[in-house]
Amino acid sequence: MSNEQMHIRKAIIRDVHSIHRLLNDYAGRDLLLPRSLSELYDHLRDYFVLQDSAEPNDVKGVCALGICWDDLAEIRSLAVTEDHQGRGAGSRLVETCLDEARSLGLNKIFVLTYVPDFFKKLGFNEMDKSGLPHKIWSDCLKCPKFPNCDETALMIDL
């Protein structure tokens, strides 16, 4: 798939079931937190999706920007179908979220991840998870690995 065939846009209602399948496939492999349909509907405006123009009704990637505080947001739920990996899709999704963060006036964006090197290439730097109190008491409480999180925290200053 060339970059001309990849289109990133805000998620819409018809994308929810595809997003749900993609995220929960990764959750089933302990790579992401599972997301319920209810949660996806509640936070649909946070999500961007990647489409391949050859398959316009199917979500090939997803990423969300969740606002945590007046100067802090999180990149979350980054997932790309295996057949679309290694072609810049994940980077484009993250950059799209960072562009939205800039437009909203957010200064700091963090991520909790099992692939820190991917985010380091995009300018994120490792940080101590203890610097994320809002994160620790929201999504983390729902995680089966809490309080023994094995993800790496990274931050970027915009």
Structural domain spans, the chain? 3-157
Angle at 131 between CA 129 and CA 133, to 5 degrees: 90
Cβ-contact 37, 20 below 8 angstroms = yes
Spatial CB neighbours of 128, under 8 Å, sequence gap ≥ 6: 153
- Please name the residue that has the structure tokens 């995009």: 122
| Structure tokens that stand for 62 in this block | 């997803």
Q: Is the pTM of this model over 0.75?
A: yes
Give the Cα separation of 151 and 60 in Å (integer).
24
Please check whether residue 113 is in contact with residue 143, taking contact to mean a CB–CB distance below 8 angstroms.
no
**CA 54, CA 49: separation in Å to the nearest integer?**
15
CATH of domain 3-157: 3.40.630.30
Condensed to tens digits (0 to 9), the pLDDT of residues 8-34 reads 999 999 999 999 999 999 999 988 888
Q: Flag residues of the chain having pLDDT under 70.
A: 1-4, 54, 56, 133-149
pLDDT attached to residue 58 = 83
pLDDT at 1: 42
